[in-house]
C-alpha cells in the first residue's frame, strides 16, 4: 500500500497492490467508523454505493467481518438509485440486498430503499423526507458515505453535463442522464459533502484517466469531472484505489 501526501488537508489517498488488500482495508475502515459512531451516538448511518465495485466488499462485511459490527445499530441508505423497479437487476438496492442486507438479516426498519415505483421527482422528494425524519431535524450528516466512480468521473448519479450538478441544496434530486436515456435519483454534492466521512472505492485500469482528472485536478472542471465536486465541508475524504486505477497519478 502506498500513501501519498494529501492534496486537501483531510484527504487520504490509499493505493493497494491487490484488490484483496484494498477490500480488507476498506472493510476495517468501515468497522472503525461504525464503532466510533455507535459509541458516540448509538447508531451508524451508513450510505451504500451502487454499481459493480462494492459487491465483493459487501460480501466480505457480511461474512468474514460479520461479527465485527453490531448490525442491529446500523441504518443503511443509498447515495443513488437507478430508475428501475426494485426487482430489476440494475436496482442498486437489489444488489445490496443480495450481497449484504439479506445475508445479515437486516430488518426493513433499518433500510432506506429509494421507492422507484414512484415517478423519479416524487421518489427523490420522498427519499429526502425519509432521511429528514430519520435525522429528527438534526443536520443531514451521514457517518459514512461510500462512493464509486465511473470511467466518465461520475459519482453517485452526478453525471457529466447534467442539471443536478448545479443543485446547491443539501438534498436528493432526480436527474435525467441523456447519455443513458434514463432518470436516476441521487444525493446532491452538497448533501454528500455534509458527511462526516466520505470514501471512494475505485479499481480497474479503465478508471485511471478519471482518477487522475479528479484527484490531481490539472483541469478543474466539475461539469466534465463531477467527482471533483466531492469535498466534505468538515468531514474526511478517503480514496481507496488499486494500482491500476492509480497508474496515471504522479508519484
Ligand X SMILES: O=C1O[C@H](COP(=O)(O)O)[C@@H](O)[C@H](O)[C@H]1O
Q: Using CB under 6 A, list all residues that contact ligand X.
A: 49-53, 80, 92, 147-150, 155-157
DSSP 112: -
Residues 132, 194: contact at Cβ < 8 Å? no
Residue 66 or 88 having the CB closest to ligand X:
88
CA distance linking residue 84 with residue 76, whole number of Å: 19
Nearest distance from residue 148's CB to ligand X, in Å? 3
Three cell numbers, residue 52: 459493480
Q: Are strands 11-16 and 2-4 parallel, antiparallel or unpaired?
A: antiparallel
Q: How far is the CB of 105 from ligand X (least distance, A)?
A: 24
Name the minimum Å distance from CB 48 to ligand X: 8
From 73, 77, 27, 68, select the one nearest 47 (Cα to Cα): 77
Measured from the CB atom, the residue of 36 and 190 that comes closer to ligand X is 190
Nearer to ligand X, 40 or 178 (CB): 178
User: Are residues 73 and 42 in contact, defined by beta-carbon separation less than 8 angstroms?
Assistant: yes
Q: Which three cell numbers stand for residue 234?
A: 468538515
Q: 116, 91 in Cβ contact below 8 A?
A: yes
CA within 13 Å, CB half, 190: 11
For the bound state, the minimum distance from the C-beta of residue 98 to ligand X, rounded and expressed in Å, comes to 15
User: Residue 51 or residue 160: which is nearer to ligand X going by CB?
Assistant: 51
Nearest distance from residue 172's CB to ligand X, in Å? 14
Strands 44-48 and 74-78: parallel
What is the distance between the alpha carbons of residues 13 and 239, in angstroms, rounded to a whole number?
5
| Complex with ligand X: residue 147 or 164, whichever CB lies closer | 147
What span, in angstroms and rounded, lies between the C-alpha atoms of 242 and 19?
6
- Judged by beta carbon, residue 41 or residue 90, the one nearer ligand X is 90
The closest residue (CB) to ligand X is: 51
Nearer to ligand X, 73 or 95 (CB): 95
d(CA 160, CA 31): 32
**Smallest distance, ligand X to C-beta of residue 145, A:** 11
Q: How far is the CB of 49 from ligand X (least distance, A)?
A: 5
Amino acid at each position: 500500500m502506498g500513501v501519498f501526501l494529501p492534496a486537501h488537508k483531510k484527504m487520504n489517498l490509499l493505493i493497494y497492490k491487490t484488490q484483496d488488500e484494498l477490500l480488507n482495508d476498506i472493510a476495517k475502515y468501515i468497522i472503525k467508523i461504525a464503532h466510533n459512531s455507535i459509541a458516540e451516538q448509538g447508531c451508524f448511518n451508513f450510505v451504500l454505493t451502487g454499481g459493480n465495485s462494492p459487491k465483493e466488499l459487501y460480501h466480505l462485511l457480511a461474512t468474514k467481518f460479520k461479527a465485527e459490527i453490531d448490525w442491529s445499530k446500523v441504518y443503511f441508505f443509498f447515495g443513488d438509485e437507478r430508475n428501475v423497479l426494485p426487482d430489476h437487476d440494475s436496482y442498486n438496492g437489489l444488489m445490496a440486498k443480495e450481497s449484504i442486507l439479506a445475508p445479515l438479516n437486516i430488518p426493513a426498519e433499518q433500510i432506506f430503499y429509494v421507492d422507484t415505483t414512484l415517478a423519479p421527482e416524487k421518489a427523490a422528494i420522498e427519499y429526502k423526507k425519509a432521511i429528514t425524519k430519520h435525522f429528527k431535524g438534526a443536520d443531514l450528516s451521514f457517518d459514512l458515505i461510500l462512493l464509486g466512480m465511473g470511467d466518465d468521473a461520475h459519482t453517485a448519479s452526478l453525471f457529466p453535463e447534467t442539471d443536478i450538478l448545479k443543485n446547491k441544496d443539501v438534498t436528493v434530486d432526480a436527474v435525467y442522464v441523456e447519455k443513458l436515456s434514463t432518470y436516476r435519483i441521487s444525493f446532491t454534492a452538497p448533501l454528500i459533502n455534509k458527511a462526516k466521512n466520505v470514501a471512494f472505492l475505485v479499481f480497474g485500469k479503465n478508471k485511471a484517466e478519471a482518477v487522475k482528472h479528479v484527484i490531481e485536478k490539472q483541469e478543474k472542471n466539475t461539469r466534465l469531472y463531477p467527482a471533483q465536486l466531492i469535498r466534505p465541508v468538515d468531514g474526511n475524504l478517503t480514496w481507496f484505489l488499486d494500482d491500476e486505477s492509480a497508474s496515471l497519478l504522479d508519484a
